[in-house]
Structure 1
């Protein structure tokens, strides 16, 4: 495990030595006596945390160190420490992206607490960026051996036109796999038409798939093309194929054999050119044994078989999925951070609803969270522990004022210190923004 690198910048040698002793257990601590020395240290390599005094002899001060770090190491948190605690200095440092602002004389516990939090944020930012890089390379999210095997099969099958059958539990992402097949195929410029066969009644299924002529049945006031014709030149995704009735199954078999359909109420066949990808959460061989699914249709559909494993069998994919969904459902364009404890809880849960359930849980947590940091308390039991943490642990929980201050500072940092933009995202005026940033200090004085 790599050791964190920490830089302490202060013109007082006793203060530097004290901070080095305090922070030594957290990593390798380097010292700089002034901003220029700090600049030289920063040029030598990266740091995971910088603590800087605010008031130092010319040239420069703590804000200059902060600006230098943010210009060259934007992900490195900076804690500003000063004997001159004033709101103007606090606001300036926060506006420039400081992680936190502490006053001398040193509160040992406070410095250690804030430093640990800052290092954890740095680690999470790096981990989340790595996960996002994986997410961005594919519509399929994850790098587990089981999912990598699916990737390989998708790559092999994409170039052909043969039917594909995707199996897996509800919520495992079968439509995503179907879209990946389409996007990597020569048909990618054509349409991708998904159909949920389980949501269409038997009486309407025939018309939905094959279209109908005007007056062919009650309510058919005009002619209509079916999804097979709409998918010409592209891919037709038939989800929950196991729910289709026997009559329509025989018509599907004809389409797969002959490449043509007949609209309801017409006798003239219509040629179609759509690749069929079907999916089911049922065991179709059992359905065949029960006499409710045609064996010859199963053979026609199951030319290439892709099985998508449940999420509990590929837990190593959960962190990447959490980051993916957190980015998708983030509010105000500010990417949230998921704590390591929360990620451990999410990874340990069995997810009976699979990927779909995970996305819903992350979206719900973000909708109710105002801090930009998701912890175990943001997730329902049995995943998280919100009810337990509200009992007997009040001393370990930040106040509402402190949470508001952290979130305001988080938003301000995310928009590069633009106070007008931060106020707009928070839906407050600039005066209220200043009050939010002052909240924890005012609370401490009262």
Structure 2
């Protein structure tokens, strides 16, 4: 890694490139940034820890694999793990479209081809810095209160805000999207968000749970059938793919589609035509596919239970949804929302959650995710005898210990992560009351105000 000599107040641009001539060319071209260069993965990680750049340009052809992309993708994943808000712009001359889709699915901001066009890359870099500034401001405004994103998703967690921004970005790309997450994380809600944020929003959103329909009926549900195709087929019925014409079809639990039907679905994705059961005329259909699963499709492919070619058609963009336990502070925000809603609908005498209930909710790991939380709150509101829902009403154990913190980029960042998590949790539990949050944290109000200002947790 070469040391930068530009003024420290300039925004830092990290250039990960093993060609020293190109390093010098980029340093000369970007006089508006503090350019720091790294020639391999280890140097890039060292520079990320030291300078915490907002934007990185990354050549996927890094040593020891300069003619391939494996080391570049490994570097991309590691940089984003350490600093998820970094805008990484990747470059490669190897399989441009495939590399672009894979890079974006892994979290890259943008992609450009070699040979390098300095002016074109300069525009991409400038947009990346601008977007990073906007997102930083949005986090500053949103971090303390929790808000609805994508229309209806309640969150204040950076992990979920990142998912929301990814969905906003890919919604209009008209590519197939695969949502990966545990049961109860809100995959159908996010699939609807993809549809509602796209140009297809004025057309139908059709959902089908592939695990809930018997194998012998699933083909008819998806592709439809002609009159007389089988016993009981007294009239022609269009399938879900046709019903979603111009719109979006959401295939939940796509891993449960049987192998013979996977072949027919693959043909539709390749040719955009279907044939109903008993039909002979191909029908052209313009339907976007969004799918979801909690299963390990890589393992299923290796075991022969899922077609690899179908996977790549369905997973042009992959979005991984964090569990509720990974969305620090969101359990309390969601619990308040559900408690207010169910109180209006089911038990008007309930006016909220007790402090003990909030503490228990904050400490519980929520293995069933948002679905478990919603069901527990609903049951507790119905059964509550008092004006507030108690920890006993929720049938939750007393709060105890938390998990380990995620690896941070450096010691300063580790302290900030711990402070932000504790403050966000305290503010959620006290409904954004400064005095109550300070008391929970064991600090004075002025100290809490200083920390909120330091970490830009509110406007």
TM norm structure 2: 0.53
Taking the TM superposition and a 5 Å limit, the aligned residue runs for 1:164-175 are 164-175=177-188
Report the Cα distance in structure 1 between the residues aligned to 2:367 and 2:319, rounded to whole angstroms: 20
Pick closer, same or farther for the CA change 1:302–1:137 going to 2, 3 Å.
closer
1:363 to 354, 378, 393: 378
Answer yes or no: is 1:244 the counterpart of 2:257.
yes
Pick closer, same or farther for the CA change 1:260–1:335 going to 2, 3 Å.
farther
Specify the alignment match of 2:222 in structure 1. 209
Specify the alignment match of 1:274 in structure 2. 287
Specify the alignment match of 2:301 in structure 1. 288
Report the Cα distance in structure 2 between the residues aligned to 1:142 and 1:237, rounded to whole angstroms: 23
Answer yes or no: is 1:338 the counterpart of 2:349.
no
Taking the TM superposition and a 5 Å limit, the aligned residue runs for 1:32-43 are none
Name the SS for the 1:329 alignment partner.
helix
Specify the alignment match of 2:272 in structure 1. 259
Answer yes or no: is 1:328 the counterpart of 2:341.
yes
Contact 1:132 1:324 (8 Å CA) reproduced: no
Answer yes or no: is 1:351 the counterpart of 2:366.
yes
Pick closer, same or farther for the CA change 1:364–1:194 going to 2, 3 Å.
same
Answer yes or no: is 1:373 the counterpart of 2:359.
no
Contact 1:342 1:375 (8 Å CA) reproduced: yes
CA shift for structure 1 position 135? 3.5
CA shift for structure 1 position 384? 8.4
Specify the alignment match of 1:223 in structure 2. 236
Larger radius of gyration: 1
Pick closer, same or farther for the CA change 1:137–1:310 going to 2, 3 Å.
closer
Deviates more, 1:313-322 or 1:234-243: 313-322
Which runs of 5 or more residues in structure 2 are unaligned? 1-142, 401-459
Report the Cα distance in structure 1 between the residues aligned to 2:167 and 2:150, rounded to whole angstroms: 15
Contact 2:359 2:399 (8 Å CA) reproduced: no
Specify the alignment match of 2:311 in structure 1. 298
Specify the alignment match of 2:62 in structure 1. none
Specify the alignment match of 1:49 in structure 2. none
Report the Cα distance in structure 2 between the residues aligned to 1:136 and 1:371, rounded to whole angstroms: 33
Which runs of 5 or more residues in structure 1 are unaligned? 1-129, 386-446
Specify the alignment match of 1:89 in structure 2. none
Report the Cα distance in structure 2 between the residues aligned to 1:353 and 1:131, rounded to whole angstroms: 26
CA shift for structure 1 position 267? 1.2
Specify the alignment match of 1:36 in structure 2. none
Contact 1:140 1:180 (8 Å CA) reproduced: no
Pick closer, same or farther for the CA change 1:131–1:380 going to 2, 3 Å.
farther
Specify the alignment match of 1:312 in structure 2. 325
Task: Give the total of aligned pairs.
Answer: 256
Contact 2:148 2:155 (8 Å CA) reproduced: yes
Report the Cα distance in structure 1 between the residues aligned to 2:374 and 2:231, rounded to whole angstroms: 41
Pick closer, same or farther for the CA change 1:251–1:245 going to 2, 3 Å.
same
Contact 2:177 2:291 (8 Å CA) reproduced: yes
CA shift for structure 1 position 383? 6.4
Contact 1:330 1:336 (8 Å CA) reproduced: yes
Pick closer, same or farther for the CA change 1:187–1:137 going to 2, 3 Å.
closer
Name the SS for the 2:344 alignment partner.
coil
TM norm structure 1: 0.55
Name the SS for the 2:250 alignment partner.
strand
Specify the alignment match of 1:193 in structure 2. 206
CA shift for structure 1 position 374? 1.4
CA shift for structure 1 position 303? 0.4
Report the Cα distance in structure 1 between the residues aligned to 2:289 and 2:227, rounded to whole angstroms: 27
Pick closer, same or farther for the CA change 1:173–1:282 going to 2, 3 Å.
same
- Residue-by-residue CA offset, 1:330-383 (whole Å, 9 max, x unaligned): 235677311222111111111111110100000000111243311212111436
Segments of 4+ moved more than 4 angstroms: 130-133, 332-335
CA shift for structure 1 position 200? 0.8
Name the SS for the 1:214 alignment partner.
coil
Pick closer, same or farther for the CA change 1:304–1:137 going to 2, 3 Å.
closer
Specify the alignment match of 1:38 in structure 2. none
